[in-house]
Amino acid sequence: MIVIVGGGVTGLSTAFWLARDGHPVTVVEKGIVGWEASGRNGGGCTHPYSPLFREEQRLWPMMDDLLGHPTEWRGHRLKVALDEGQLDRMWKSTALATEQGFQAAALDRAELRDLVPWVGDNAIGGIHWKYGGHANPQRTSQAYAWAVERHGGRIVQHTAVRDIRVRSGRAVAVETSAGEIGCDAVVIAAGPHTAALAEPLGHRVPMAPARVEMIVTEPLPPILHGGVDGNGLYGRQTLRGNLAYGGGPHEWIDLDGEATPRPVNSPVVASLARRLNEMFPRLGHVRVIRSWGGIVENTPDGRPILDRLEDPGNVVVASMSSVGFGLSPATGRALAQLVTQGSCDFADLSQLTLARFGNLPLDWRSRQGWDALPA
């Protein structure tokens, strides 16, 4: 039995790939699958700086069929620049993908407006990324869970993991609020709670939790490529037509125990509206109908930890450092390989080990300026 601790996209995708290959898996989730950051994010599927990028791009077009439920995935991204500085920075990040053989095209203002009728005269142009895309986070999370069950895996919700029992250098059981589950391997993919779960195993997994937020407008007539970013915002037009956008300041927080705190919003929602209205000046009348917050974790360098521990040797630790949703099809496949064969054969994960933080000072959060606001 392989026990996956955490029913977010990373854990669920890992369980999916394992179950699909016939391995017995159980996902233990303290709440509802995909309930936290996995189900409430920008839905972006475009991460060219990741060694998992090629696999991300290969897998997304297949995910609806693989999972058996719609993920709302759509390809391509459009970038809107309001000044030369924005455009320069967009081309720099574009180069990361074009250097790997993906295609992008410059758009002048008229071409941009043909694709995104909401942009105004303040846009100087943009870029059409003929790669990447976006999907519906909640629908995708649930689709993973149902696919795990269809392949014979178990999803145990509303159950918290309290301890991982080790004997002779191997994890042998996972103790939960609903009893013990014997195991041959464990994957800890519990988002910001990963650190607390790994600590009793003798491993410090450095991460700091933070609260981030997004806004949603009423639906607009759908455009062809809804994955449109710019002006310091990330987001998308959903297939229903709503604009869902985030960005801007995050709040570093402290966790209190195993619960994830209710991710409240702040007046930053108005700053998001301001920047969305700057990017799409023709949409000043469009109403914001909702907002949401989410809790994500970051490692000290902002990069994932995808690592199979040496001791206990059958435990894999996974944190995507605040950028997990889009990469999840590929991450899950990589983690499944770490569990079953000890290494990943399609991506270079050598820089994403826990060991890179071996000399980290204990007060690293304070040194980074990442402490929570005073109580």
Partner 1 sequence: MASQDPTSIAGKAFPFRGHVDHLVVGAGAAGIAAARRAAASGAKTLLVDEHPLDPGLFGLDIPYLFGARFDAGTSNAARMEERIVAARPDLLAAMEDGVEVQLGTAAWGGFAKAPASRLFPTPVIGLADRDAAWLVGCDRVTLALGARDVVLPVAGWTLPGVMGAQGFDALLRLYGAFSGRRVVVLGGGALAEGTLAAARAAGVTVAGHLATPATLRIEGREHVSGVTWRDGGTWHEVDCDTVVMAVDTVPMIDLAELLGCPIAWDPARGGFVATGRAPVDVIGDAAGTAAAARGAWLDLATAEDHTLVCACEDVTAGDLRALRPPRYLDAAGPEAGLAALGALNQDQVKRLTRAGMGPCQGRRCRESVHALLSLDRPSPPASHRAPLRPLPLSVLAALEEDPALRANWTGWFGIAAQWLPHWEPVPANPEFIGGRLSGGDVVK
Q: Which stretch binds partner 1 (CB under 8 A): 102-110, 127-135, 217-225, 336-344?
A: 217-225
CB-nearer residue toward partner 1: 247 or 312: 247
117: preceding bond cis by omega (within 30 degrees): no
Query: Considering the complex, what minimum distance in angstroms separates the CB of residue 170 from partner 1?
Result: 29
CB-nearer residue toward partner 1: 14 or 142: 142
Is 290 near partner 1 (CB under 8 A)?
Answer: yes
CB-nearer residue toward partner 1: 124 or 372: 372
Helix (H) or strand (E) holding 27: strand 25-28
25-28 and 2-5 strand pairing: parallel
Burial class (CB in 10 A: 0-12, 13-18, 19+), 374: exposed
Q: Footprint of partner 1 on residues 254-283 (CB under 8 A)?
A: 256, 261-271, 273-278, 280, 283
Q: How far is CA 349 from the centre of its chain?
A: 17
Residues belonging to the chain: 375
Tokens representing residue 354 in the block: 């826990």
Q: Which stretch binds partner 1 (CB under 8 A): 17-25, 165-173, 177-185, 319-327?
A: 319-327
CB-nearer residue toward partner 1: 130 or 157: 157
> Binders of partner 1: how many residues, by CB under 8 A?
96
User: Which of 158, 328, 165 has the alpha carbon at shortest distance from 259?
Assistant: 158
Q: Which DSSP state fits 60?
A: G
Q: At what angle do helices 328-341 and 9-20 cross, to 10 degrees?
A: 60
Q: Footprint of partner 1 on residues 71-130 (CB under 8 A)?
A: 72, 85-86, 89, 93, 96
Query: Considering the complex, what minimum distance in angstroms separates the CB of residue 104 from partner 1?
Result: 17
Instruction: Tell the residue number behind the tokens 């909702």, with chain if given.
Output: 290
Query: Considering the complex, what minimum distance in angstroms separates the CB of residue 30 from partner 1?
Result: 13
Round to whole Å and give the CA distance between 179 and 23.
22
Of the candidate residues 26, 231, 328, 337, the single one contacting partner 1 (CB under 8 A)? 231
CB-nearer residue toward partner 1: 184 or 252: 252
**364: three-class secondary structure by DSSP:** helix
Q: How far is CA 116 from the centre of its chain?
A: 26
**72: three-class secondary structure by DSSP:** coil
Is 178 near partner 1 (CB under 8 A)?
Answer: no
315-319 and 185-188 strand pairing: parallel
Is 196 near partner 1 (CB under 8 A)?
Answer: no
Of the candidate residues 250, 258, 346, 353, the single one contacting partner 1 (CB under 8 A)? 250
Q: Which stretch binds partner 1 (CB under 8 A): 6-14, 163-171, 320-328, 336-344?
A: 320-328
Tokens representing residue 52 in the block: 């998992």
Is 346 near partner 1 (CB under 8 A)?
Answer: no
CB-nearer residue toward partner 1: 119 or 186: 119
Q: Which residues 6+ apart lie within 8 Å of 90 measured at CB? A: 79, 81, 126, 127, 230
Tokens representing residue 228 in the block: 């449109």
Is 234 near partner 1 (CB under 8 A)?
Answer: yes
Q: Which stretch binds partner 1 (CB under 8 A): 123-131, 162-170, 311-319, 364-372?
A: 364-372
Is 352 near partner 1 (CB under 8 A)?
Answer: yes
Q: Which DSSP state fits 352?
A: G
Query: Considering the complex, what minimum distance in angstroms separates the CB of residue 327 from partner 1?
Result: 10
User: Which of 249, 246, 228, 234 has the alpha carbon at shortest distance from 288?
Assistant: 246
Q: Footprint of partner 1 on residues 292-311 (CB under 8 A)?
A: 292-293, 295, 298, 300-304
Q: Footprint of partner 1 on residues 27-56 (CB under 8 A)?
A: 32, 35, 39, 49-51
Query: Considering the complex, what minimum distance in angstroms separates the CB of residue 302 from partner 1?
Result: 3
Helix (H) or strand (E) holding 81: strand 74-81
Tokens representing residue 57 in the block: 């791009």
Q: Which stretch binds partner 1 (CB under 8 A): 16-24, 171-179, 332-340, 343-351?
A: 343-351
Is 356 near partner 1 (CB under 8 A)?
Answer: yes
Query: Considering the complex, what minimum distance in angstroms separates the CB of residue 2 from partner 1?
Result: 21
